[in-house]
Homo-oligomer: A and B are copies of this chain.
């Protein structure tokens, strides 16, 4: 088969709470899984603090190197929410109050104490931006060019991704087949390398684990071609059996 063009995305996670260890990030895995289905590969992630120059540097480095750039975090109403200003600075555009975002927030806060100055901050967008619907809470996400500004709270970010499903051009989805075995990965290292080399269009990752005193590994075969991935998984299973190790289709959890 001919391989299709590879579409890539990067993610900038904005937040002191991730870098301080207070909060366990969940947006990397969530975005990666969603991108796979869209036929887009997550090529790089940077986690930066709530500091404008750091956000600007990461955004500018990654937006030109990838088809798409996502950010999570820093779009709330408080003083530490500086994502919109930082991205506007990165793009060299001004910040405006988006009329539709303002209307959304007015409706949302109508029965919740009204649209205060702090809340109106969440209607601010880089000039030229469109909104990404947010069904979970009032404040929308923001799209400007190939840049997607999402909330940091994972379930709100998930809702925004849901609203974007199918809207981004991508290639063929990357599929994966996992085969697990109770085997030290060093024992199958040559087998894996040989199989990957012999099968253009696949890559194999080897992920060791330790469960209740037993050593094993899961082998993940990734490809844009489901048939190729499946065939390689079958071959790997045969090789493991030849080594006297029972393969577990789907991997060992």
Contact = CB atoms under 8 A, between A and B. Distances in A.
A186 B77 contact: yes
Given A43-B49, A196-B79, A208-B76, A16 B186 contact: no
Contacts of A137: 210
A115 to B, nearest CB: 9
A22 B41 CA distance: 13
Interface string A38-65: 0001111111111000100000000000
Interface string A132-157: 00001100000000000000010100
A26 interface: yes
A26 B24 contact: yes
Interface residues of A, number: 72
* Chain A interface, >50% SS class: mixed
A176 interface: yes
**How many copies altogether?**
2
Interface stretch (A83-91, A95-103, A199-207, A233-241): A199-207
26 contacts: A13-B45, A16-B203, A19-B32, A19-B41, A19-B43, A19-B44, A20-B32, A20-B220, A21-B33, A21-B36, A22-B176, A22-B220, A25-B25, A28-B47, A44-B47, A44-B48, A46-B46, A50-B205, A76-B186, A77-B185, A78-B189, A78-B192, A80-B206, A112-B184, A113-B184, A113-B187
Closest 9 CB pairs of A and B: A21-B32, A118-B189, A21-B33, A79-B193, A45-B47, A77-B186, A78-B206, A118-B186, A119-B186
